[in-house]
Structure 1
Amino acid sequence: MSRRPDRSVDAITRHADRKKQAREHPGASPLRGLGTFGMVGWSIAVPTVGGAFLGLWLDRVAPQDFSWPIALILGGAVLGSFIAWAWVSREGPGRGGDDQ
């Protein structure tokens, strides 16, 4: 009587490999998109608001012909945009994030 190879071992191995692959490379998640949206918002908002407060303080300490708060709000928005751009380009799909 000939013995057939045990197919259950192969099935278990394939199943375990699929689970390992899914754990190592998770798919895109809607929550990841919300997290990215929040991170971009905070990376722009924090330097902008910080620039406004620093500008108000500088207006009292070192008054100038120009408005410190307006200048530093614009500077904070530009700095925050660069930070957000760098973060999105580093974490985005196909750019070194989890999607690779």
Structure 2
Amino acid sequence: MTRDDDKTTKEIGQRARRKKDARDDPGPSPLRGIGTFGMIGWSIAVPTLIGIFLGLWLDGLAPQNFSWTIALLLGGVVLGAFIAWGWIGKEGE
């Protein structure tokens, strides 16, 4: 085996390792960011809408001096914020 053959073999090995590393850890993707953004939006929207509908139902069923709809809307937003915070924490790891 000559020196040139040995050098070529090393280069091929280095390229193969780089390709494997790139495949194993692709890095950040713009599409992943868009997906995370959508998931966070749904994490806030769904509890908020559930709170609104539950509040409307309770306003008709058991009227109070306060509005169930507004109270549960705010509760849904807070719950959604905690869920979104959890998602952000998982994505940051």
TM-score after normalising by structure 1? 0.81
Following superposition, the deviation at residue 19 of structure 1 comes to 0.8
Following superposition, the deviation at residue 3 of structure 1 comes to 3.6
CA distance 1:26–1:65, shift in 2 (3 Å): same
More helix by share: 2
- Distance in 2 (CA, whole Å) between partners of 1:39 and 1:3 is 57
**2:36 corresponds to:** 36
Provide the alpha-carbon RMSD of the alignment: 1.6
Following superposition, the deviation at residue 44 of structure 1 comes to 0.6
Report the 3-state secondary structure (helix = DSSP H, G, I; strand = E; otherwise coil) of the residue aligned with 1:13.
Answer: helix
**1:9 corresponds to:** 9
Aligned positions of 1:1-100 closer than 5 A: 3-4=2-3, 6-92=6-92, 96=93
Deviates more, 1:26-35 or 1:50-59: 26-35
Moved over 6 A (4+): none
- Structure 2: stretches of 5+ with no match in the other structure: none
Count of aligned residue pairs for this structure pair: 92
1:28-51 superposed Cα distances (whole Å, 9 cap, x missing partner): 222122112111111111100110
- Distance in 1 (CA, whole Å) between partners of 2:45 and 2:10 is 54
- Distance in 2 (CA, whole Å) between partners of 1:34 and 1:70 is 30
Following superposition, the deviation at residue 7 of structure 1 comes to 2.3
